[in-house]
């Protein structure tokens, strides 16, 4: 039996949904390694919160769209040093705008971080998990990737791409007892939704059968289930955490 520490890697784990996922998986007994790009103070705060609850975590500044940086992270911090039990691809950015006005760089940046970044982490993780013949990979997609959203053609494309990537990887890795699933959050209480005008907020709520926005914990609980032993026979699936938005 391996003496290496069971570890979950979470991209974009210092704030928002990623932070709550990090706290939840740490509480479940996994050592958490999370990445961030900006706001190191947020990363420090998340580390402190995990330590205060008795968990173990480390934070790493890694640009998920940079293939060399991702490879260096895995070779320097993961391979042979921890037992990689789970990857949660959560890192993402938005650069919203209508398609007629969207700049090339805004499209490229969102696809680079949200989709290319997820692929780079998934590829490195798959190499390890395929050898150890065990692992859980969860990609954080979005309701926007399933039903689209005006002004977010780049974000929708990236999140839809993550769903396709999830299904393809599940077929490739299933024979090695590695599961690959996606979680597609709906409208979640975050910094972004907190800034919505009241009229827009009411419109979104009216379309949600459960009558409320979701919480980051709602998403984190779905992720925690998918990386647990209870989800051993679930792969290639998209778990919608959206309050029934399009049921």
Residue with tokens 């990857």: 87
Q: Is 155 a catalytic residue?
A: yes
User: Hey, what are 47's tokens?
Assistant: 């580390």
Residues 6 or more apart whose Cβ sits within 8 Å of residue 220: 17, 20, 21, 23, 24, 25
Task: For the chain, list the strands marked E by DSSP.
Answer: 6-10, 31-36, 57-61, 83-89, 135-140, 178-185, 238-241
Cα distances from 105 to residues 44, 54, 97, 152, 162, in angstroms, run: 30, 42, 12, 14, 20
Catalytic residue among 33, 107, 155, 204: 155
Which pair of structure tokens corresponds to residue 105?
């760089």
DSSP characters for 100-162? TT--HHHHHHHHIIIIIHHHHHHHHHHHHHHHHT-EEEEEE--HHHHH--TTBHHHHHHHHHH
Report, as residue numbers or ranges, the catalytic residues.
155
């Amino acid at each position: 039996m391996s003496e290496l520490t069971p570890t979950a890697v979470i991209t974009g784990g210092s704030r928002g949904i990623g932070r709550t996922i990090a706290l939840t998986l740490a509480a479940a007994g996994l050592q958490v390694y999370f990445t961030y790009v900006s706001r190191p103070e947020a990363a420090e705060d998340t580390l402190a919160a995990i330590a205060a609850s008795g968990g173990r975590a480390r934070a790493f500044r890694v640009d998920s769209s940079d293939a060399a940086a991702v490879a260096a992270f895995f070779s320097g911090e993961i391979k042979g040093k921890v037992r990689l039990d789970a990857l949660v691809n959560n890192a993402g950015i938005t650069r919203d705008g209508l398609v007629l006005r969207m700049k090339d760089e805004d499209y490229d940046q969102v696809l680079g971080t949200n989709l290319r970044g997820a692929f780079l982490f998934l590829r490195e993780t798959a190499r390890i998990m395929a050898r150890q013949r065990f692992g859980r990979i969860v990609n954080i997609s979005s309701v926007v990737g399933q039903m689209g959203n005006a002004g977010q053609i780049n974000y929708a494309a990236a999140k839809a791409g993550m769903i396709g990537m999830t299904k393809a990887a599940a077929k490739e890795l299933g024979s090695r007892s590695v599961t690959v699933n996606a979680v597609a959050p709906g409208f979640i209480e975050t910094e972004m939704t907190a800034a919505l005008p009241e009229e827009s907020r009411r419109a979104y709520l009216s379309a949600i059968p459960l009558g409320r926005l979701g919480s980051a914990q709602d998403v984190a609980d779905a992720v925690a289930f998918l990386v647990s032993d209870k989800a051993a026979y679930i792969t290639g699936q998209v778990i919608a955490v959206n309050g029934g938005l399009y049921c």
